Amino acid sequence: MTYYIVAAFAAVAVALIGLIQGLSVAKINKSFAKSEKARQEQAEKVEKRADAREEEGLLSMRLLNSSIDLSMATALAVKGLAGVSVNGNMDRAIQSAQQNKNDYDKFVDKIAVEQISKNRRY
């Protein structure tokens, strides 16, 4: 009879060890899933910032090109080179500069609104 009691206790002990192992594995899996989610969220934020930097760089280049166009048109007008249609050059340069300035301003406004929205979350 003692043999059966010892065997029963052994079976209960084995079952408890299995339960503890199962709970430990579940806790580790939950912790891993949580850290993986945080890593993915961080990667998304990094990607979003990189996209914004890329867009800002493109718009900055457009602004620079517009500035150059405007400078060249102004220089031609001031110098008064013979045979150069200054008025058309000036009009195109002004339109290019204004359009690229508007695009850049919209971009800056968009980023500002995103930052304000991000900071207002409670």
pLDDT in tens, 96-119: 888 888 888 888 888 888 888 877
Residue 37 φ/ψ region, left for φ over 0, alpha for ψ in the -120 to 50 degree band, beta for the rest: alpha
Res 81: pLDDT: 66
| Whether residue 121 has pLDDT greater than 80 | no
Closest CA to 61 of 103, 109, 10, 31: 103
Structure token pair of residue 109: 């406004």
- Whether the pTM exceeds 0.85: the reply is no
